[in-house]
Structure 1
């Protein structure tokens, strides 16, 4: 990922990544999702949610419940 962005959520389930993105965007935080699933084998690879550096702590706090 480019400089200036921090990973705040990691999952293998696409719906959880989309839930995280919705939570963050509703709080006014820009979000980027990187899907690193293997195109041939959907069960391999991660989906990572990134936010700008300045929003890292707020984003992690907002997503605390989603990680459980």
Structure 2
């Protein structure tokens, strides 16, 4: 994942999934979720990563999407 960059993180897996779907479905930007939550206690973060060349645009899009923040 050296060519990918984290552009969003949330304690909510649902918000991370929404961010991923928003980028893929509405902007055709590849995105993956890295779930770093502990499976027993559900603490930690879910991170959304995109290819490095799309990182600035993807971060801008997600930050300006009212339902995700």
TM-score (norm 2): 0.88
User: Which secondary structure state, in structure 2, belongs to the residue aligned with residue 24 of structure 1?
Assistant: helix
Tell me the alpha carbon deviations over residues 19-40 of structure 1, each in whole angstroms, 9 at most, x when there is no partner. 1001100211111101111011
Task: Give me the whole-angstrom Cα distance separating, in 1, the residues matched to 2:21 and 2:38.
Answer: 24
Tell me what 1:6 maps to. Answer: 5
Q: What value does the CA root-mean-square deviation take over the aligned residues?
A: 0.9
Runs of 4+ in 1 over 4 A off after TM superposition: none
| Match status 1:48 vs 2:47 | yes
In structure 1, runs of 5+ residues without a counterpart are none
Task: Give me the whole-angstrom Cα distance separating, in 1, the residues matched to 2:22 and 2:40.
Answer: 30
TM-score (norm 1): 0.89
User: Which secondary structure state, in structure 1, belongs to the residue aligned with residue 55 of structure 2?
Assistant: helix
Q: How many residues align?
A: 65
In structure 2, runs of 5+ residues without a counterpart are none
User: Which secondary structure state, in structure 1, belongs to the residue aligned with residue 2 of structure 2?
Assistant: coil
